[in-house]
Amino acid sequence: MLRTARHAKILEIISHKEIETQEELCSELNKLNYVVAQATISRDIKDLHLFKIAGIEKKYRYAYIHETEGEISPKMKSLFLDCVIAVKCAQNIVVIKTLAGNGNNAGTVIDKLNYPEIIGSVAGDDTVFAVCENAEKALLAVEKINDFMKK
């Protein structure tokens, strides 16, 4: 099966139904004759930049915001502003603390901002580490992120 067809089907499923886990998504795809393993779904979620938001029927659900590469939609910015607790510098690393379960969402925004000072980032449950070449560039990145949050 073509990956692009599977990705399109995943986006269709999550736009019509609250899907909370990878296993649920796997099950929905299997019902539609897309035979996939959980590991494949995990990669697809990463490739599609899916993230979790509060659900209506379930605690959380997968969501996708279609946007042009490098641009931050107002909804994604709002999610970022709501979940970020602090942005600090630790030598050449920018540490972004978030509410529990929001590290990946914040990391997606940091990556989309595409600041030249940031070489790369790693997101966890409630923390994003954005690595810079040196401490000066990290301080500049913190300033830019704080400015982004004020606009």
Q: pTM higher than 0.75, yes or no?
A: no
* 101 lies in the same domain as 56: no
Total domains in the chain come to 2
In this structure, is residue 18 part of a structural domain? yes
Report the CATH number that the domain containing residue 94 is assigned in CATH.
3.30.1360.40
* 81 lies in the same domain as 118: yes
**pLDDT tens-digit readout, 43-71:** 999 888 888 887 788 888 888 765 444 56
- Structural domain of 30: 3-63
**pLDDT tens-digit readout, 72-123:** 778 788 889 999 999 999 999 999 999 999 998 899 899 988 899 999 999 9
User: Contact 19/62 with Cβ under 8 angstroms?
Assistant: yes
Return the beta strands (E) in the chain as ranges: 51-54, 60-63, 84-90, 93-98, 118-123, 127-132
